[in-house]
């Protein structure tokens, strides 16, 4: 599924900020900034609805043990959306910023979330006696060169195995961060990739060959990733708000900084 759905600007360019460039580059998250709405909302939501309807098995997975967490996540998303301009709750329906109404289906919490928010959401839980969190549920409409099927029910180390900067030491730091994050005191970070294809839905198997798009590829893809903890179930939520911009939309400052700190990781 291809096509250009682009934002008009990149609000956070991680290569311009030393704190964000230094991995894992996490910053404190304000609760009222967990969910975002930007100028690509309507187009992204139209694509999300098409993916949930037509390719559900590729974009949604939920284990039985994660069901309580998914229910809690839906409740938290509805509460957070209620505080944002453009959303309005009407009984069992919610009016979105693009004017569309979504039925709140409590029997299908992740699909409902996927029809409300631009962001994708992953549920991670730490089984008793285990050392790592495991991906036990997700609504993932906009994968950046990975597949939900390969990562579902896998621990953090296996999920990040193909990521070169994700060393064993980095894995330990990330796991400690997941252990330490507290409800109401979330974290966020941002990444950046260069792509020659702006498509948002880019699943790619782990062993699939990739083509180097080149340092001057025309699109910058950035994920604003938030790490939060649910208050009742204790599950960790990893949310991903995806922005794709044409290189020409970078500000003068962002373009200058990109020459000094080129993006190392590229997408094909």
Predicted confidence (pLDDT) per residue in 117-163, tens digit? 999 999 999 999 999 999 999 999 999 999 999 999 999 998 876 66
Rounded CA gap, 159 and 194, in Å? 21
Percent of the chain predicted with pLDDT > 70 = 93
Alpha helices, DSSP H, located in 22-120: 41-54, 56-59, 67-82, 109-116
Mean pLDDT of 55-81: 98
The H helix count followed by the E strand count for the chain is 9, 11
pLDDT-based confidence at residue 24 (cuts at 50, 70, 90): confident
pTM strictly above 0.85: yes
The stretch 100-109 carries a mean pLDDT of 98
Asked whether residue 217 carries a pLDDT value surpassing 60, the answer given is: yes
Q: Is the pLDDT of residue 164 over 70?
A: no
Closest by Cα among 154, 172, 138, 36 to 97: 36
What is the biggest distance separating any 2 CA atoms in the chain, rounded to whole angstroms? Answer: 52
- Tokens of residue 237, six digits: 């939520």
Specify the pLDDT at position 43.
98
Rounded (5°) CA angle 92-29-181: 95
* 268 band by pLDDT with thresholds 50, 70 and 90: very low
- What is the DSSP annotation of 201-232? -B---TT-------TT-SEEEEEEEEEEE-TT
For residue 2, pLDDT over 60 is answered with no
Helix orientation angle between 109-116 and 41-54, rounded to the nearest 10 degrees: 150
């Amino acid at each position: 599924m291809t096509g250009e759905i682009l934002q008009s600007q990149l609000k956070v360019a991680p290569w311009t900020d030393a704190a964000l460039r230094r991995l894992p580059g996490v910053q404190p998250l304000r609760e009222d900034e967990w969910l975002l709405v930007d100028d690509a909302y309507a187009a992204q939501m139209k694509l999300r609805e098409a993916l949930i309807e037509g390719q559900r098995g590729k974009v949604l997975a939920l284990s039985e043990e994660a069901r309580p967490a998914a229910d809690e996540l839906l409740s938290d998303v509805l509460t957070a959306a209620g505080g944002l301009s453009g959303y309005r709750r009407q009984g069992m329906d919610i009016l979105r910023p693009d004017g569309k109404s979504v039925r709140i289906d409590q029997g299908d919490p992740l699909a409902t979330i996927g029809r409300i928010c631009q962001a994708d959401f992953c549920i991670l839980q730490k089984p008793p006696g285990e050392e790592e969190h495991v991906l036990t549920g997700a609504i993932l409409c906009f994968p950046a060169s990975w597949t939900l099927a390969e990562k579902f029910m896998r621990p953090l180390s296996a999920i990040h195995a193909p990521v070169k900067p994700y060393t064993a030491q980095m894995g330990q730091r990330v796991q400690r961060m997941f252990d330490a994050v507290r409800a109401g005191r979330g974290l966020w970070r941002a990444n950046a990739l260069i792509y020659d294809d702006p498509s948002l839905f880019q699943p790619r198997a782990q062993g699939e060959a990739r083509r180097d798009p080149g340092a001057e590829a025309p699109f910058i893809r950035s994920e604003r990733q938030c790490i939060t903890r649910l208050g009742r179930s204790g599950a960790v939520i990893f949310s991903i708000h995806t922005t794709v911009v044409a290189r020409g939309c970078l500000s003068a400052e962002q373009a200058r900084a990109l020459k000094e700190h080129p993006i190392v990781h590229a997408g094909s």
